[in-house]
Structure formats: C-alpha cells, structure tokens
Amino acid sequence: MSMESKIKDSSPPNRIKIHQPDANKADRFNPRNRIYVRAVTGVWSSLRRRMGWVAMLFFFILPWVPWGDRQAVWFNLSEQKFHVFALTIWPQDLTLLAALFMIAAFGLFFVTTYLGRVWCGYTCPQTVWTFIFIWFEEKFEGARNKRIKLDKMPWSFNKIWRKAAKHLSWIMVSLLTAMTFVSYFVPTHLIYVDVFTLHADGSVYFWVIFFTLATYGNAGWMREIMCLHMCPYARFQSAMFDKNTYIVGYDSMRGETRGPRSRKADPKALGLGDCIDCDLCVQVCPTGIDIRNGLQYECINCGACIDACDNTMQRMGYDKGLISYTTENKLAGSQEKVARPKLLGYGIVLTVMVLVFIYASATISPVRMDIIRDRNALYRDNSQGEIENTYTIKLLNKTEQQQQYQLSVTGLDNPHWIGPQSIKIAAGEVITLPISIAVSPSSLSKSINDIDIIVSTTINNQQISIKQETRFFGR
C-alpha cells in the first residue's frame, strides 16, 4: 500500500489534501492572466502602508517647499542648474550627481545584501503606486472574490459605473503624479496654472500626458509584469544575495506535510505540519508566487504573505512565524553571520563615498574661472618697453546673488595689470574678460614663468578666493 493510501485510510471522514502542483492554475508568467491581490492586515502590511504614505507625501509636497525666491528642489534644465535646498549644482559640478547616483547604487547593494529586496517591497514607486491603485480598486469593486465575480459578470449598469469610477480615480492619481513629477523641472507655482489655462509650453503638455499614461499603465494594468518581466533589479539581485541575506522564507520542516484540518484537530496525529494549505499566502502576493516553493526572484520581500500566514496561525492556535523574514542558513539550522566580507565591503565603500560627497558638496566654489591664453602670440613688446602676455578670463558667478569680484596675479615682480580688476557679475551670469599682464624684461629670470591668477570675493562676511595656474612667456 502506498504512503498516500495509508494516510487516506487513517484519516477522518474529511479527506486530507495532499499537496500536489495544481495544473489548473493559470500561468502567472502569462501577461494576459490577471492577479487579483487579496487585502491583508498585519505588522508588515501596516509598515509598508506607512512607508508608502511617507514616500508619496514626500514626493508630492517637496516641490511646494519654498527656498528664498524659488522652490527648494528645482532641476532647472533651461539654465542648466540643479537646486537642492541651499545647494546649487552647475554642469561643471555634475560629478556630484554621478557620485550621488553611485551612493544610491551602493546603498541599494548594501541593503539588498543585508535585508534582501526590501526596496522593492516597501519603497519602490512601482510598488507604492500599485498598492494605491489596488486600494481604489477595492473601494469601487470590492474584495478579491467580488472583483473576480464582477469581471466574470456580463456588462451592466452596476459593472459599468464601478469600472468607470475606478479608472477615473486611477487617471486622476496618474495626472497628479505626472504634474508633480514635471514640477520638479518647471516652477510649481506656474505649471498648475499654465496647464489648466492652456498657456503651458507644448513640451510640458507632452511630458504631463506621457507620465500620466505611464503611471496609469504601470500601476493600473502592468503591475507585476514590471517586476516579473521588465525590472532589471530582479535579474541581478542574486549577485548580492548570500545564505545570510534576510528573505521571506517558508519553514518547510515545520509546515509540511500540508493539509486542511479543523481547529481542534491534532496535526501530529494526522501526520500533518502546521500549513493548512489555505493558499492565502498566494492570494495576497502582488506578484502571484507561492513562497512555499522556496526563494524565487519574483519575491519583492513585501511581507504580505507573512501577515496572511500569521493571521491564519493565530486563528488555528499555532505559533506564528511559519513564513517569516529569515535566512537560508537559519532555515537550514546553521548559524547566521551578520558581518561578512561582501556586506562589510559595500558598507566601507558606501561610507567613503558619502563622506567624499559631503566634503565635495561643502567645498563647491561659488565662482568658476577659466583662463585662455592668446594663441596668436606668446608675448609682445608694448610701447612702454614691457613684455606683455594676453589672456581671456571667463568668470561664472555660481551664487544666487550679484557678487563683486577682485582679480590679481602672483608669481611676477611688479606686474602691470591691463584691464578691469574689479567687476560685478549677476547671479548665474558668465562674463568673458580680455586682460593683459605686462612686466619689465629685467624682472624675468627665465623665458617661461608659472603664475597664478586669483579671483576673490566676500560672501556672507567670508573671504573666498580661488586661483588658477597659467604661464607667462618672456624672451
């Protein structure tokens, strides 16, 4: 007699369900098969919602925060200036943006190595907006079973108004999202007035429509397709995982063999584990996976299945934690290691880059100077009998106020400066200043002399000077 027959023979009248792959389940990798996500409550779902609200409010409110006579965060592409509160980044400082992106990348690597794909589950815009859209879906169409039933029903007034209300709410959220995103590049106080009064530039309308459709399509229709088929992060995350990375894991030693039973039944007497095979962990998963099948790249570590399973365990009177945030080593009964070379390496690189970025940001010069020598003649003898070199100085005022700048030169004895040495430059203005420097031939001991041209100003009662090396040619 087979093991399955023995279990069936010894079972009570309600037959025990032996877990087998369900051939009738829809292929979750088929984009045409829709996943109906079931609502769930619990610790991790509450945390995810709160973090989603924080991220969403931060995104929507930040463009409205004032800073002087402008908004605090403004990526002014037309003038090639990125304003982030008191920091203004010019094209000459774009290495700071590159460093910021590298910090974000290594920060993601560090967090992923330690906590798995928590970025995807808790703060990824695709996840945050998808759950917002699902919330509207539940409000207008009902819980999971009602939504499935509604989609199977023929078209009627009830179905039409519910679908219309849902899609209208999606479009409104998408439009608000698009206008907020564009307002990071166009002044916020103008975009909302100009767009609705039809005075906005054509490019503004294009990007607002584009991001409205992108948000509506991604969060409303594509959802898990983005995670399963399009997001590159899911594909290379395995390079950062190890056996000590925290993942959402199912304790098969405790849960198997699965099977339904009454609350009063003793699972050990029935030869069962703690898993009652209710499939709630699958129904609440936004990517439609069964975490009981082991670690899968589609898992976004959102913890929804943990809450669903904990709720079931609590109702059954079992211990929570059948599905939990755990590590492969812990599931295998091995010792966990928090400090490991890869994690420490990411942490060290991240710390160094953050410190370098802070230092570079704090030491951004408020003025930029470029010096171009006259390439037509190395030098000339002027009417006073002096040796004269000609230069073109370009000065950029990188502050947001008009500044008075003083110019001087070092490295020569008794130099004669020909041209303005004091000049006012408006905020963000670039000027080109032709000047000449002349000296007596007797003061030159060699034909090529290294000199420094210095520009200085006073900002907030602080003297600031920068210098740039060039050469003075003699006979």
pLDDT confidence of residue 22? 45
Residue given tokens 């509506």 in the structure block = 216
Q: How confident is the model at residue 350 (pLDDT cuts 50, 70, 90)?
A: very high
CA separation, residue 41 to residues 288, 305, 307, 430 (Å): 18, 10, 7, 58
d(CA 17, CA 14): 9
Q: How confident is the model at residue 30 (pLDDT cuts 50, 70, 90)?
A: low
DSSP 106-119: HHHHHHHHHH-SHI
In percent, the amount of the chain with pLDDT more than 90 equals: 61
Whether a cis peptide bond, with omega within 30° of 0, leads into 410 is no
Mean pLDDT value across residues 379-407: 90
pLDDT confidence of residue 96? 83
Q: Indicate the CATH number for domain 367-473.
A: 2.60.40.10
d(CA 278, CA 149): 20
CA-closest candidate to residue 321, choices 340, 336, 306, 301: 306
pLDDT confidence of residue 27? 55
Summarize pLDDT for 444-454 with one digit per residue, the tens. 888 899 999 99
Q: How confident is the model at residue 14 (pLDDT cuts 50, 70, 90)?
A: very low
Q: For the chain, which residues make up each domain, given as ranges?
A: 43-89+124-222, 367-473
DSSP 389-424: EEEEEEEEE-SSS-EEEEEEEESSSS-EEES-SEEE
Decide: residue 180, CB within 10 A, 0-12 exposed, 13-18 middle, 19+ buried.
buried
Strand 430-439 vs strand 387-397: parallel, antiparallel, or unpaired? antiparallel
pLDDT of 348 strictly over 80? yes
d(CA 354, CA 102): 10
Phi, psi (deg, nearest 5) at residue 135: -60, -45
